Amino acid sequence: MTSTPDDVSAGRAAGATGYLEDPAPGYGALPPRCTFTSTAARLPLDGDWRFHLAPTVGAAPAGFQLPDYDDAGWDLLPVPSSWPMHGHGRPAYTNVVYPFPVDPPYVPTDNPTGSFRRVFDVPDTWQDTDAVLRFDGVDSCARVWLNGRELGVIKGSRLPSEFSVREALKVGENVLAVEVHQWSAGSYLEDQDMWWLPGIFRSVAVVRRPPASITDFFVHADFDHLSCQGTLRIEVQADCPVRLVIDELGITDRPADEVFVIDDVEPWTAETPRLYDGELVTDDERVPIRIGFRTVAIVDGQLTVNGRPILIRGVNRHEHHPDFGRAVPTEAMREDLLLMKRHNVNAIRTSHYPPHPAMLDLCDELGFWVIDECDLETHGFHLLDWKRNPSDDPVWAPAYLDRMHRTVERDKNHPSIVLWSLGNESHTGANLAAMANWTRDRDSSRPIHYEGDAACEYVDVYSRMYASPSEVELIGKREEEQHPNVDAATDAKRRSMPFILCEYGHAMGNGPGGLSEYQELFERYPRCQGGFIWEWLDHGIRQHTADGREFFAYGGDFGEPIHDGNFVIDGLVFPNRTPSPGLLEFKKVIEPVVMNGADGSLVIENHYDFVTTAHLIFRWTLESEGEPVADGLLAVPPVGAGQRHEVALPKLPRTDAESWLTVQAVLVADEPWAAAGHEVAWTQVQVRRRDPEPTPTGRRPQLRSDHIVFGPGVFDAARGELRRLGGLEVSGPRLDLWRAPTDNDRGGEHPEEGWWRGNGLHRLQHRTIDVKLGRTELVVHTRVAPPALGFGAYVTYRWQANETGLALTVQVEPRGQWPDSVPRIGLRMRVPSTVDSVEFFGLGPGESYPDSDRAVRVGRYQSTVDAWQTPYVFPQENGNRSGVRWAQLTDADGLGLRIGGQPTVNVAARRWTTEDLDAARHTTDLVASDHVHVNIDAALHGLGTAACGPGVLPAYQLRPVDTTFAVTFSALPVEIEEG
Ligand code: GAL
């Protein structure tokens, strides 16, 4: 659907800016083709351009496209860039809603318009040759002139456009002028959940086309898994003979259009990204190509590659950088992919547009299954009940097809791409069906994905987002509900299709919880072929407070009148691309080697789809109370994909404390994405249980005027609360139920925060009923309840003591009409701010919650209160350490306390209160107080993914029921009494 040169005049006739509100695609560009490099000369035009930003199209400088226009007073702006990231205008974020009236194809008169000029020299050697001017991405619409001559108009932000410059380009000085509009008719098709960031955000170049040059090519490289033969067929478009060279395959200089059948070829898979380097050669240029032999097919209701079903361990990846917006440096792309590989991710959905072309080269090279998605989303029409949605309006058909053509043509030669996706959340309609039909004709080798085709009328895989585990289970059994609007045949067709979750596990803030439940279903039901976490990266924008402290901004921080707040902060990695606990959890949940030990042996299951475990060695370490005792290697023969193998555990020395054997599967040699020794999978086996700790007891509490002395503790006699432990001033511990709500607590159909806050759990009051001194115990009865409401809990604190320690048993008896769940059941206490070092024996090193605790392992960990905080961009509950046998909090001199679980507790420690954390909106709102605030919890409510998706699963919901738990406190350092 790319227009012919004749359309250029049609476009002009439409008026100076008529193209802006024309639903049609741009005009003037050459037919789309694949992205390739060549030995032919190329003039990169990236770098500083002259730039002027006007608030409306009308206010843009007239005549700026003329070569002699004086732009000396203009600013300089780097290309590629998103101009709001460079101080021109401001970023704006909305999810579903359009930030302008929904009146397609019209756009606001207030339409920021950037005028760009770039002067460049063409060397003499280019005399009389053809050339094209290439734009890899311009958001959202641009009109282009070279030396004052109009070349055409670009729409489709994340898609390339090329113009012939045969007539306009000259040897010597040339002036390129581009007018970029933030809003255009195309904006209606680009309502993806992300920042609105106009600009020339991908590269621009002039590429020489010598007389004997290649226009386009389509590599078909199939692999027959039965014969291990590769079949290579390249369709080349060129006005000259083209030869093919692939030395490794013995193809030295053959006509490129031959069909080559090659024996014993090594196939390409995401696990074995084997590429054969070659070249297409003409008299005037050499074009490097990389061939990956692989065949994608749907066989018996399963998505297969090279004859085997694959299991997707995927993420959705947007293109965002905290400093550069949509202009992501190649190094950051690479960093993304390396991090993914190191976290066992094997698949990427390019949500919701084709990524930078270099990203796909890296996917081919490093090995990922890719769903390449077209640049299309019209989600905002949802709020109009999909009335006037472009997807079913013939006026928009050319634009839809144009976008799909340009996606497929650009990316067709990437072996990593296994599915084409028509776009995202654009409802359904004839234009989408037409995209699917065209794609099927053009490339029958890849199935078609589009989640919005809920009835599966024109797609090849059944795709859903955020379905609950119970629904996924029904789908796995092919017993899902029938779609209301389809006949039995269409329903049967859908039921026979493979299933993927194109989005699940919404990684907003603290979470996602409940990932392992999905993974179990993916592994149990052949129809369920995995899914893609929403999403890879928090789209925060780096900012600084007036006093220079860094934070990441989200929707509303730039004064947008309409925005969706921090819903754009929902990734597995923070905006600066450091892993969040959610990524560590995902890595463990999807590990491709699963080990389980019991009764002296270890069962190793290979969950890869293709490779054996030969690239791994299996190391073991024995730790007693977290201290290493012995280590070694397990002799494990290579285990085939899908196979299991049992090995005997090593003979271990005796230990005298709780002991765990950790087995790690680590890389035996360097891989392109990680060094030898990198851990891929692990398990722990308990080899010696914990002996119960003796309860401090025997001392008698002494009443002294207004306080009670009891062992190392001094209590407030009226309240019965601990005020001093050994040399340390403390306050508390006392019952506490509140947590700073997570995004998931706030979210969706399970707004737990509302119930909790509405029931006053954030402002409980404590009434001391009585304080009783017994022979060897101190018993404090209280009632804890919110103001204004009738329900409450009777809480009994029962203390015992010896010389150095205190034992506390807490009994909680909720009575009356409580909400269904509570955030925590535990204690809070306060110690001086100098007590900021932590050592613990428990599950670590990172945070964990009941439905997100797969990534933590039993060990002994040293840290600090500061390092215990997880810097969620929108502050919320974080930092809980679970399974804590004991934790020591000390100051620089070793003064502090030891908390002992009976048998285990959860511990969190912060420099601010839960209330401060609850009130904060950015990390910089959190200011250290004079204390360290410690939570010691018997239980916590899970995390879930209710920000978008199911809430906390029943097994992880914390009910306000009668609860008894015990904990010990010892003063540190331990003073040994003389005599
Ligand atoms: C999905 C959508 C994504 C994102 C996500 C929520 O519905 O496809 O683009 O908005 O929800 O973060």
Do residues 940 and 958 lie in contact, with contact meaning Cβ atoms separated by under 8 Å?
yes
Distance (Å, whole) CA 811 – CA 625? 29
pLDDT the model gives residue 770: 98
Average pLDDT estimate for 622-627: 98
- Domain end residue (candidates: 587, 605, 636): 587
Is 504 touching ligand 1 by the criterion CB < 6 Å? Answer: no
Sign of CA dihedral 334, 338, 343, 349: positive
Pocket test for ligand 1, best of 425, 464, 538 (most atoms within 8 A of CB): 425
Rg (CA), the chain: 32
Domain assignment present for residue 258? The answer is no
365, two tokens = 């090279």
| Closest by CA position to 499, among listed 531, 468, 455 | 531
Domain assignment present for residue 922? The answer is yes
Are 550 and 610 members of one domain? no
Domain assignment present for residue 640? The answer is yes
- Taking the centre of ligand 1 as the mean of its atom positions, its distance from the CA of residue 366, in whole angstroms, is 27
Do residues 576 and 277 lie in contact, with contact meaning Cβ atoms separated by under 8 Å?
no
Is 425 touching ligand 1 by the criterion CB < 6 Å? Answer: yes
Atom 3, ligand 1: which residue's CA is nearest?
193
Q: Would you place residue 265 in the very low, low, confident or very high pLDDT band (cuts 50, 70, 90)?
A: very high
- Taking the centre of ligand 1 as the mean of its atom positions, its distance from the CA of residue 425, in whole angstroms, is 8
Distance (Å, whole) CA 411 – CA 409? 6
Element (H or E) spanning 918, and its range? helix 914-919
411, two tokens = 């990316």
- Taking the centre of ligand 1 as the mean of its atom positions, its distance from the CA of residue 379, in whole angstroms, is 10
Q: Would you place residue 7 in the very low, low, confident or very high pLDDT band (cuts 50, 70, 90)?
A: very low
pLDDT the model gives residue 915: 98
Q: Would you place residue 975 in the very low, low, confident or very high pLDDT band (cuts 50, 70, 90)?
A: low
CATH of the domain at 630: 2.60.40.10
Asked if residue 250 has pLDDT above 60, the reply is yes
- Taking the centre of ligand 1 as the mean of its atom positions, its distance from the CA of residue 558, in whole angstroms, is 22
Atom 9, ligand 1: which residue's CA is nearest?
193
Distance (Å, whole) CA 851 – CA 742? 14
Is 806 touching ligand 1 by the criterion CB < 6 Å? Answer: no
Asked if residue 614 has pLDDT above 80, the reply is yes
198, two tokens = 């106009």
Is 69 touching ligand 1 by the criterion CB < 6 Å? Answer: no
Are 601 and 742 members of one domain? no
Is 570 touching ligand 1 by the criterion CB < 6 Å? Answer: yes
| Closest by CA position to 234, among listed 242, 440, 282, 360 | 242
Is 503 touching ligand 1 by the criterion CB < 6 Å? Answer: yes
Is 534 touching ligand 1 by the criterion CB < 6 Å? Answer: yes
- Taking the centre of ligand 1 as the mean of its atom positions, its distance from the CA of residue 880, in whole angstroms, is 28
CATH of the domain at 199: 2.60.120.260
Amino acid identity of 373? E
- Beta strands in 438-533, from DSSP E residues, in sequence order: 448-449, 462-465, 499-504, 528-533
Active site residue 425: yes
Q: Would you place residue 838 in the very low, low, confident or very high pLDDT band (cuts 50, 70, 90)?
A: very high
Is 465 touching ligand 1 by the criterion CB < 6 Å? Answer: yes
- Beta strands in 126-171, from DSSP E residues, in sequence order: 130-135, 138-139, 141-146, 149-155, 161-164
Domain count, the chain: 4
DSSP one-letter code for 31: P
Distance (Å, whole) CA 189 – CA 178? 22
Distance (Å, whole) CA 793 – CA 819? 13
| Closest by CA position to 325, among listed 156, 85, 146 | 85
Asked if residue 942 has pLDDT above 50, the reply is yes
Asked if residue 452 has pLDDT above 70, the reply is yes
Residue corresponding to tokens 């119960």:
692
CATH of the domain at 781: 2.70.98.10
Q: Would you place residue 14 in the very low, low, confident or very high pLDDT band (cuts 50, 70, 90)?
A: very low
Average pLDDT estimate for 961-966: 98
pLDDT tens figures, 768-823? 999 999 999 999 999 999 999 999 999 999 999 999 999 999 999 999 999 999 99
- Taking the centre of ligand 1 as the mean of its atom positions, its distance from the CA of residue 413, in whole angstroms, is 28
- Taking the centre of ligand 1 as the mean of its atom positions, its distance from the CA of residue 554, in whole angstroms, is 16
Q: Which atom of ligand 1 is closest in space to residue 96's alpha carbon?
A: 10
Pocket test for ligand 1, best of 94, 190, 193, 319 (most atoms within 8 A of CB): 193
> 857 CB contacts (<8 Å, ≥6 apart)?
660, 662, 682, 684, 843, 844
pLDDT the model gives residue 747: 85
- Domain end residue (candidates: 558, 587, 616): 587
> 531 CB contacts (<8 Å, ≥6 apart)?
312, 314, 500, 501, 502, 503, 504, 505, 518, 522
Q: How far is CA 185 from CA 155, 190, 394, 977, in A?
A: 9, 9, 15, 82
pLDDT tens figures, 176-202? 999 999 999 999 999 999 999 999 999
Percentage of the residues of the chain whose pLDDT score is greater than 90: 96
Domain assignment present for residue 684? The answer is no
pLDDT the model gives residue 567: 98
Q: How far is CA 320 from CA 159, 323, 327, 503, 908, in A?
A: 16, 9, 7, 18, 32
pLDDT the model gives residue 8: 37
Angle of helix 357-366 versus helix 330-342 axis, rounded to 10: 30
Q: Which atom of ligand 1 is closest in space to residue 508's alpha carbon?
A: 12
Do residues 932 and 836 lie in contact, with contact meaning Cβ atoms separated by under 8 Å?
yes
Are 776 and 880 members of one domain? yes
Q: How far is CA 709 from CA 706, 713, 716, 742, 775, in A?
A: 10, 6, 9, 40, 13
Are 577 and 599 members of one domain? no
Q: Which atom of ligand 1 is closest in space to residue 451's alpha carbon?
A: 8
Is 339 touching ligand 1 by the criterion CB < 6 Å? Answer: no
Are 949 and 847 members of one domain? yes
Average pLDDT estimate for 275-304: 98
- Taking the centre of ligand 1 as the mean of its atom positions, its distance from the CA of residue 723, in whole angstroms, is 49
Average pLDDT estimate for 36-46: 97
Atom 4, ligand 1: which residue's CA is nearest?
193
Asked if residue 749 has pLDDT above 80, the reply is no
- Taking the centre of ligand 1 as the mean of its atom positions, its distance from the CA of residue 509, in whole angstroms, is 15
Atom 10, ligand 1: which residue's CA is nearest?
193
pLDDT the model gives residue 750: 67
Average pLDDT estimate for 879-899: 98
Amino acid identity of 520? E
- Secondary structure of 637-693 in the HEC alphabet? CCCCCCCEEEEECCCCCCCCCCEEEEEEEEECCCECCECCCCEEEEEEEEEECCCCC
pLDDT the model gives residue 215: 98
Is 569 touching ligand 1 by the criterion CB < 6 Å? Answer: no
Q: Could you tell me whether strands 347-349 and 369-373 are parallel, antiparallel, or unpaired per DSSP bridges? A: parallel
pLDDT tens figures, 515-557? 999 999 999 999 999 999 999 999 999 999 999 999 999 999 9
pLDDT the model gives residue 607: 98
pLDDT tens figures, 368-425? 999 999 999 999 999 999 999 999 999 999 999 999 999 999 999 999 999 999 999 9
Q: Would you place residue 16 in the very low, low, confident or very high pLDDT band (cuts 50, 70, 90)?
A: low
pLDDT the model gives residue 976: 54
- Domain end residue (candidates: 587, 608, 632): 587
Helix, strand, or coil (residue 895): coil
Atom 2, ligand 1: which residue's CA is nearest?
193
- Taking the centre of ligand 1 as the mean of its atom positions, its distance from the CA of residue 351, in whole angstroms, is 9
- Taking the centre of ligand 1 as the mean of its atom positions, its distance from the CA of residue 197, in whole angstroms, is 18
Centre a 10 Å sphere on the Cβ of residue 702 and count the other Cβ atoms it contains.
Answer: 10
CATH of the domain at 445: 3.20.20.80
Domain assignment present for residue 688? The answer is no
Domain assignment present for residue 941? The answer is yes
Long-range contacts of 439-442 (CB under 8 A, 24+ apart): 439/404, 439/408, 442/405, 442/408, 442/412
Are 770 and 839 members of one domain? yes
Task: Please give the model's pTM, rounded to 2 decimal places.
Answer: 0.97
Q: Name the residue range of residue 946's domain.
A: 735-972
- Taking the centre of ligand 1 as the mean of its atom positions, its distance from the CA of residue 713, in whole angstroms, is 53
Centre a 10 Å sphere on the Cβ of residue 464 and count the other Cβ atoms it contains.
Answer: 18
Is 451 touching ligand 1 by the criterion CB < 6 Å? Answer: no
Q: Could you tell me whether strands 194-196 and 141-146 are parallel, antiparallel, or unpaired per DSSP bridges? A: unpaired
State the first-to-last Cα distance of the chain, in angstroms, to the nearest integer. 95
Are 748 and 661 members of one domain? no
Residue tagged active-site, from 21, 279, 503, 560? 503
Is 95 touching ligand 1 by the criterion CB < 6 Å? Answer: yes
Is 368 touching ligand 1 by the criterion CB < 6 Å? Answer: no
Residue tagged active-site, from 409, 425, 480, 777? 425
Q: Which atom of ligand 1 is closest in space to residue 95's alpha carbon?
A: 10
| Closest by CA position to 111, among listed 139, 135, 136, 137 | 139
Is 424 touching ligand 1 by the criterion CB < 6 Å? Answer: yes
Asked if residue 15 has pLDDT above 70, the reply is no
| Closest by CA position to 686, among listed 655, 718, 647 | 655
317, two tokens = 């990846």
Burial of 163 (0-12, 13-18, 19+ CB in 10 A): buried
pLDDT the model gives residue 10: 35
- Taking the centre of ligand 1 as the mean of its atom positions, its distance from the CA of residue 503, in whole angstroms, is 8
Q: Which atom of ligand 1 is closest in space to residue 535's alpha carbon?
A: 12
Distance (Å, whole) CA 32 – CA 959? 59
Cis peptide leading into residue 512 (ω within 30°): yes
Do residues 583 and 345 lie in contact, with contact meaning Cβ atoms separated by under 8 Å?
no
Q: Could you tell me whether strands 92-94 and 75-79 are parallel, antiparallel, or unpaired per DSSP bridges? A: unpaired
Q: Would you place residue 11 in the very low, low, confident or very high pLDDT band (cuts 50, 70, 90)?
A: very low
Atom 6, ligand 1: which residue's CA is nearest?
948
Is 193 touching ligand 1 by the criterion CB < 6 Å? Answer: yes
pLDDT tens figures, 313-371? 999 999 999 999 999 999 999 999 999 999 999 999 999 999 999 999 999 999 999 99
pLDDT tens figures, 710-746? 999 999 999 999 999 999 999 999 999 999 999 999 9
What strands lie across the sheet with 47-54, from one edge to the other? 75-79, 47-54, 113-122, 172-181, 141-146, 149-155
Burial of 637 (0-12, 13-18, 19+ CB in 10 A): exposed
DSSP H helical segments within 501-655, as ranges? 515-524, 581-589
Domain assignment present for residue 433? The answer is no
Distance (Å, whole) CA 293 – CA 266? 7
**471-475-476 Cα angle (round to 5):** 115
What does residue 606 show for φ and ψ, rounded to 5 degrees? -90, 110
Active site residue 167: no
DSSP per residue, 800-822: EE-SSEEEEEEEEEEES---S--
Are 365 and 453 members of one domain? yes
**221-414-427 Cα angle (round to 5):** 120
Distance (Å, whole) CA 875 – CA 920? 6
Are 29 and 134 members of one domain? yes
Q: Which atom of ligand 1 is closest in space to residue 570's alpha carbon?
A: 12
Are 493 and 366 members of one domain? yes
Are 180 and 52 members of one domain? yes
Domain assignment present for residue 710? The answer is no
Atom 11, ligand 1: which residue's CA is nearest?
948
Are 628 and 568 members of one domain? no
Pocket test for ligand 1, best of 503, 564, 567 (most atoms within 8 A of CB): 503
Q: Which atom of ligand 1 is closest in space to residue 424's alpha carbon?
A: 8
Pocket test for ligand 1, best of 378, 534, 536, 566 (most atoms within 8 A of CB): 534
Distance (Å, whole) CA 99 – CA 663? 53
